[in-house]
Structure 1
Amino acid sequence: MDFAGKDKSEYVKETFNAIAGKYDLMNSLMSMGMDNAWRAKAVRIVEAKPGMKMIDLCCGTGKLTREIAVAVGDSGRVTGVDFSEEMLVVGRKNIENDRYKASIELLQGNAMSLPFTDNSFDGATVGWGLRNLPDLRRGIREMIRVVKPGSMVVSLDMGKPTIPVFKQFYWLYFEKIVPWLGKIHGGKQKEYTYLYDSACEFESQRQLTLIFAECGLQDTGYKNLVGGVVAIVYGRKPK
């Protein structure tokens, strides 16, 4: 992938700063309104419950963070971390009048080196973020480090469908239609071409599940959504 002479971290940060204002709208358009249901599924798999302290990596505009806050309630806490300033600006606006605002903290930080001690959280999520990290395994190990033994680590991201014809249609849609939508609704065709490229290069859900196990998680697995277009990959930190 061509990062225009920049390292991946810098390029990704600039890309998401550029699309922050239209990110939520584009997510809804690209997913045909199904993205909220996908987040709710991820929250169930991470086993978020009232009173828990959770972390949401690469939280972006805070949509998944907010979904977790509903699950942990007023007695719980969820910390969202992202390195894009503009995404966090939108995220803070999203929760300004939210019922669970007091349970949410949004911080700028680097998923490669989290500013938290070992075993600090009851579970960790990352939504559409692992493929943007410069070092996938390091990011996964950081998530494992900061959660308590027995906690779930969950990724929600694009998958690689395998159903004949359907998979060809999906990749055509992602390659041609999504960048066009980005240009029409936000004037950002190049940035949405990156999203297609990063999805192509990212590990399949099967491969990511194996990497979760390689990094030390147990009871690993994945759940396909929409025929494998999106997948939830999960594992549990050993007790």
Structure 2
Amino acid sequence: MDFSGKDKATYVQETFNSIAKRYDLMNTLMSFGLDKGWRRKAVRTVEAKSGMHMLDVCCGTGQLSIEIAGAIGASGKVTGLDFSENMLERAQENIYSSPFQSVITLMQGDAMQLPFPDNTFDGATVGWGLRNLPNLEQGVKEMYRVVKPGSMVVSLDMAKPTLPVFKQGYWFYFDKLVPWMGKIWAGKARAYQYLHDSAVEFPPQQELAQIFTRCGLVETRYQNLLGGVVAIVSGRKA
């Protein structure tokens, strides 16, 4: 993957700063509107319940944080963390338009070094974020560290479909059409080419579940969505 002479963290931060304003629109277009349902399933998987304090890593524009807030209610709390200031600005706008302003707190920070003590949260999510980290395992270990024993760590991200013909059609769509859509609706074809390239390099869902196990999580599993185009990978802190 070409980072134009920059380290991955810097490249990713600049990329997401550049597409923040149209990020939600593009997610809806690329997923044909299915992304909201995927986030709801991730919230069920993380076992979010009333009164819990949850962490949403790489929270982006706050859409997953908002879904979590709906599950934990006014007595709960969601902390959303991202290192892109433009994505956080967009997240704040989305939260102002939701009923959960008092529930969600946003902060800029590094997923590789989460600024929280051990055993702080009742669960942690990361939506379309692990593949952007310089060290995926370090990111998982950090989420493992900051959740309480018995809590879930959940990733929602692109995966690797395996069904013949469907698989080829998917990768053609992601490689050729998604960058074109990014150019038309966001003016950022190169940024959306990165999304394709990062999905190609991201471990398949089976391997990611094994990585969760190596990082100390138990009951690790993956759930394929839309034929494996997207997957939820989860594990529990023993």
Q: Give me the TM-score of the superposition, normalised by structure 1.
A: 0.99
Aligned residues: 238
Q: Name the CA distance, whole Å, in 2 between partners of 1:101 and 1:142.
A: 26
Identity rate, percent: 66
Q: In structure 2, what is the equivalent of residue 22 of structure 1?
A: 22
Q: In structure 2, what is the equivalent of residue 236 of structure 1?
A: 236
Q: Name the CA distance, whole Å, in 2 between partners of 1:43 and 1:224.
A: 15
Q: Name the CA distance, whole Å, in 2 between partners of 1:15 and 1:100.
A: 28
Q: Deviations over 1:117-149 (max 9, x none)?
A: 000000000000000000111000000000000
Q: In structure 1, what is the equivalent of residue 208 of structure 2?
A: 208
Determine helix, strand or coil for the equivalent of 1:192.
Answer: helix
Q: Deviations over 1:32-71 (max 9, x none)?
A: 0000000000000000000000000000000000000000
Q: Name the CA distance, whole Å, in 1 between partners of 2:97 and 2:79.
A: 17
1:82 partnered with 2:60:
no
Q: In structure 1, what is the equivalent of residue 126 of structure 2?
A: 126
Counting only pairs closer than 5 Å after superposition, residues 97-116 of structure 1 correspond to structure 2 as 97-116=97-116
Q: Name the CA distance, whole Å, in 2 between partners of 1:210 and 1:129.
A: 18
Q: In structure 2, what is the equivalent of residue 177 of structure 1?
A: 177
The one-letter code sitting in structure 2 at the alignment partner of 1:93 is: E
Q: Name the CA distance, whole Å, in 2 between partners of 1:137 and 1:226.
A: 26
Q: In structure 2, what is the equivalent of residue 51 of structure 1?
A: 51
Q: Deviations over 1:14-35 (max 9, x none)?
A: 0000000000000000000000
Runs of 4+ in 1 over 2 A off after TM superposition: none
Q: Name the CA distance, whole Å, in 2 between partners of 1:201 and 1:97.
A: 35
Q: Deviations over 1:76-107 (max 9, x none)?
A: 00000000000000000001132111000011
Counting only pairs closer than 5 Å after superposition, residues 156-175 of structure 1 correspond to structure 2 as 156-175=156-175
The one-letter code sitting in structure 2 at the alignment partner of 1:31 is: S
Q: In structure 1, what is the equivalent of residue 9 of structure 2?
A: 9
Q: Name the CA distance, whole Å, in 2 between partners of 1:132 and 1:107.
A: 18
Determine helix, strand or coil for the equivalent of 2:102.
Answer: helix
Q: In structure 1, what is the equivalent of residue 198 of structure 2?
A: 198
Q: Name the CA distance, whole Å, in 2 between partners of 1:97 and 1:231.
A: 28
The one-letter code sitting in structure 2 at the alignment partner of 1:44 is: R
The one-letter code sitting in structure 2 at the alignment partner of 1:123 is: G
Determine helix, strand or coil for the equivalent of 1:95.
Answer: helix
The one-letter code sitting in structure 1 at the alignment partner of 2:99 is: R
CA RMSD of aligned residues (A): 0.4
Q: Deviations over 1:133-182 (max 9, x none)?
A: 00111000000000000000000000000000000000000000000000
Unaligned 5+ segments in structure 1 are none
Q: Name the CA distance, whole Å, in 2 between partners of 1:14 and 1:54.
A: 27
Q: Once structures 1 and 2 are overlaid, which stretch shifts more, 96-105 or 55-64?
A: 96-105
Q: Name the CA distance, whole Å, in 1 between partners of 2:123 and 2:152.
A: 5
Determine helix, strand or coil for the equivalent of 1:33.
Answer: coil
Q: In structure 2, what is the equivalent of residue 188 of structure 1?
A: 188
Q: In structure 1, what is the equivalent of residue 146 of structure 2?
A: 146
Q: Name the CA distance, whole Å, in 1 between partners of 2:207 and 2:115.
A: 28
